[in-house]
Amino acid sequence: MPLTPGTRLGPYDIVSAIGAGGMGEVYRARDTRLDRVVAVKVLPSGLTRDPLALERFAREARAIASVNHPHICTIYDVGEHDGSPYLVMEWIDGETLHARLDQKPQTVEQLVEWGLQLAGALEAAHARGIVHRDLKPANIVVSARGDLKVLDFGVAKLVDDQAAVATTMPALTDAGSAIGTAAYMAPEQVRGEPVDQRADLFALGLVLYEIATGRRAFSGTTTGVVADAILNRAPTPVQTFNPGLSQPVAAILDKLLEKDRELRYRNAADVRADLKRALREVGVAAPSTPGRTAAVSAATVQTSVAVLPFRNLTADADNAFFSDGITEDLIDALGRIAGPGRSWKAACGARARGSASAPLSWTPLPVFRFGPRGTIARWRTCSRSRTKSCRRSSRRSRPRCSAGQSRPSAVRPTISRRTSAI
C-alpha cells in the first residue's frame, strides 16, 4: 500500500510520492536529523516475500554505495518499515532525461557534454565490475544545473568474481534470461546471452541517439518488433534527423551501436577519449574536469578585431601624423575595452603603409604599429605620462610622447614580406 504524506520511516518524514515502478515506490522525504530533502525508495509490499526481489533491492543499495561518482546518484541510508526495506538517496531537483527530450533533439554541444558525463559514470561502475543493464532516459535525471545522474541499479550485474569480492554482491543473473527494457537492450541481451560492459555501451549509444534526434533508434508496436529491429535492422543514420551533427560524433554513435559486440567499443574510457577528440576536431574546447562538466559552447572560440592603418590621401606629407594619431587612438580605446591587465597586439606583416593588416587579438603582449614603408615600431608606455599615445610631427621626425621623451624610431623588421603576422 502506498505511503501517505506524514508517514515516518525512522528519521525520515514522507512529504509526497514521486513515482512507482516494478521494483519500487519513490517518495520525497525530509531527513529530520540533518534537515535536508532526500529521496526514499521503498520495496512494494507485494514483493516483500519474494526472495529474488529482496535480493535485487539489496543489491541495488550495495551497487550504488560501492561507486562514488558525481554522475551516479548517492545513497545515504538503508532501513526497514513494516517489513518493507527502503533505501535513502540524494534528492535531485530536476526531471528525467525522458521528460526533457520529449521528441526534441539537442545541440551537438549538449549531446557531447552529456555523453562525457554518462561515459564517465559507466566507466566508474564498470571499474567496480558492475554492469547496469537498464540504462535508459527514464533512469537518468537532469539536475537543475543541467548535469546528468544515473539511477536505478536494481538489475545490475557483476562481471566477475573479483568484483563480487570487492562489492560483497552475489551475481544473480541466470543464463538465458533477458534483463532490461526492450528498446534499450543490446543484441546479446535480447538473445539472453551473458553480458558484459559492452551491453551498457550499446545502451549508451541508444541514449545518445535519442538525445541527438529526439526519437528512439529502434521502435515498434510490440516488444517482438523492437527485438527484431535490434537484432536485424540498422537504425536510420543519425544525421538524417540531425544534419548539423558532425561526422566524428556520428561515427562514435555508429560504433556504439554495432550489433557485433566485438566491433563495438570495449570500454567507456575509449568512448570518452573519442568524444573529446571529436570536440577538438570540430573546434570546440572540451571540458577537462571529471566532476562538474563545464558547459561546452562555440562561444569559447576566440574572436578578433582588425584595425587597418589610415592613409594620408593629401598631397602634404606633413599630414601623415594624423593617420598615425587616429590609428594610435583607436588601439588605445580598444585596449581600455580589453580590461585591466590586458592589452592589444597588432599582428601585422612587413607591408607598406596603407595595405591590409592581420587582425588584432586579445593577447597580453606588447602593442605594435605600422611604420613608414613597411617598417614596424614597437610601442613602450612612457614612464612619466603613462600613456601609449605619441604623435609624429612629420614622417621624417622622431616620435615623441606628451611628456617629451623620445620614442624608438621605426625599425625595419627582419621577417619576410609574405609573413602575415609577427
**Could you report the per-residue pLDDT of 155-211, keeping only the tens digit for each?**
666 554 333 333 333 333 444 444 557 899 999 999 989 899 999 999 999 999 999
Quick check: is 415 in a domain?
A: no
Is there a single domain that holds both residue 282 and residue 184?
A: yes
In sign, the C-alpha dihedral spanning 10, 79, 69, 93 is: negative
User: Where a domain ends, among 90, 125, 141?
Assistant: 90
CA distance 200 to 375: 63
Task: Say yes or no: 119 and 238 in one domain.
Answer: yes
Catalytic positions are: 134
Q: Which amino acid is at 411?
A: V
Q: What was the pLDDT predicted at 155?
A: 64
Per the domain annotation, does 349 fall within a domain?
A: yes
pLDDT tens per residue across span 208-217: 999 999 999 9
Contacts of 149 (CB under 8 A, 6+ apart): 71, 72, 73, 92, 94, 140, 141, 143
Closest CA to 167 of 127, 207, 200, 204: 127
Q: Residues 308, 197: one domain?
A: no
Q: Are 233 and 177 within one domain? A: yes
- Nearest-angstrom CA–CA distance, 246 and 118: 20
Does the residue 81 lie in any domain? yes
CATH number at residue 280: 1.10.510.10
Phi then psi for residue 193, to 5 deg, are: -85, 160
Torsion over CA: 8, 10, 14, 19 (sign): negative
The single-letter DSSP state of residue 283 is: T
Judgement on whether residues 83 and 98 belong to the same structural domain of the protein? no
Q: Are residues 325 and 255 in the same domain?
A: no
Q: Are residues 167 and 311 in the same domain?
A: no
Helices (H), 159-216: 161-167, 187-190, 197-213
Q: How many domains does the chain have?
A: 3
Look up the domain containing 394 and give its range.
304-401
What does the alpha-carbon distance between residue 246 and residue 112 come to, in Å, rounded to a whole number? 11
Q: How far is CA 146 from CA 18, 67, 123, in A?
A: 20, 21, 20
Same domain, 293 and 312: no
Q: Is the pLDDT of residue 367 over 70?
A: no
Among the candidates 45, 70, 90, a domain finishes at 90
Residues 216 and 343 in one domain: no
Domain stops at, among 90, 120, 150: 90
Q: So what's the pLDDT on residue 156?
A: 61
User: How many angstroms separate the Cα of 359 from the Cα of each of 52, 305, 370?
Assistant: 69, 5, 13
Co-location of 76 and 205 in the same domain: no
My answer on whether 151 and 238 are in the same domain is: yes
Share of the chain above pLDDT 70, in %: 66
Q: Is residue 266 part of a domain?
A: yes
CATH of the domain at 28: 3.30.200.20
* Secondary structure letter of residue 237 according to DSSP: P
Residue 65 lies in a domain: yes
pTM for this one? 0.64
Is 228 within 8 Å of 219 (Cβ atoms)? no
Average pLDDT taken over every residue of the chain = 75
Is residue 411 a contact partner of residue 337, using CB atoms and an 8 Å limit?
A: no
- Mean pLDDT is lowest, of 40-49, 270-279, 389-398, for 389-398
391-406 pLDDT, tens digit per residue, is: 443 444 444 444 444 4
User: Does residue 142 contact residue 73 with C-beta atoms inside 8 Å?
Assistant: no
The enclosing H or E element of 115 equals: helix 108-127
DSSP character at residue 260: S
Q: Tell whether 414 is covered by a domain.
A: no
**Are 127 and 53 contained in the same domain?**
no
What type of residue is 404?
G
Does residue 372 form part of some domain? Answer: yes
Instruction: Read off the amino acid at residue 155.
Output: V
Per-residue pLDDT at 270 exceeds 80: yes
- pLDDT bucket at 23, cuts 50 / 70 / 90: confident
